[in-house]
Amino acid sequence: MSDSIEPAAEPARTADEPAAQDTAEAFRTRRSRALVTILVIAAVVVLADQLTKLWATSTLKEGEYHSVLGALLGLQLTYNSGAAFSFLVNATWVFTIIAALAVVALLWFSRLVGSRAWAVAFGLLLGGAVTHLGDRLFRAPSFGQGHVVDFIAYVNWFIGNVADIAIFCGAVLALVLSVAGVPLRGGPRHTHTAPNEAG
């Protein structure tokens, strides 16, 4: 009588090994979807920012304040050659370079994104950076030294625009995801658990 041959048992997967479903092909699929999300959100941010700036420049008078929520929020058109709080107003080209580098960096690291949440953060940041770069390059007074259109006044503190809101929200979301340990590439999170001891 012949003995039955049992198939060799597969070695148990350790907690440090990636989950079976998190293959290279799965990541490529997630990355493709994330890239679409990033580009769509970035395009929406650019469109919203430029359309609201077009409305502001055609409707509001420069320096004239219009209250929306008392002194908390209002509309006031201004042309900013510097950064927030009119910082470095005489060095516009510095912010043009910074915006260009930010766009390149975000596009480069977008290749590593597979998480939907991270894709949203990257889309917001990329959209804000692209539209700011467009202002610096193509708005008056000259190429590369354009003044950004700001029109949303916050508590007499500073004046911003839609792109600033997108960048702020994207940065906060990225911080939350980092603290929460959400992997940039998406997929299952890797947990480290102590192996069960034989009793």
Radius of gyration of the chain measured on its C-alpha atoms: 24
d(CA 132, CA 121): 17
**Cα within 13 Å of Cα(105), Cβ side:** 8
Q: What are φ and ψ of residue 155, in 5° steps?
A: 45, 40
pLDDT band at 157 (very low <50, low <70, confident <90, very high): confident
pLDDT band at residue 40 under the 50/70/90 scheme: very high
Least confident of 21-25, 105-109, 110-114, 138-142: 21-25
CA distance to 9, 21, 78, 121, 188, per residue, from 15 (Å): 18, 14, 56, 29, 11
Instruction: Kindly tell me if the per-residue pLDDT of 104 is higher than 90.
Output: yes
Q: 41-98: per-residue pLDDT in tens? A: 999 999 999 999 999 999 999 999 999 998 899 999 999 886 554 555 566 788 889 9
pLDDT at position 198, please?
A: 42
Q: Which of 22, 49, 135, 164 is catalytic?
A: 164
CA distance 43 to 128: 10
Active site residue 16: no
* Residues 170-196: tens digit of each pLDDT: 999 999 999 999 999 987 765 444 445
pLDDT digits (tens, 9 = 90+) for 4-39: 555 555 555 554 454 445 688 899 999 999 999 999
Active site residue 164: yes
Q: Residue 87: its pLDDT value, please?
A: 55
> Given 22, 49, 135, 150, which residue is catalytic?
150
pTM: 0.81
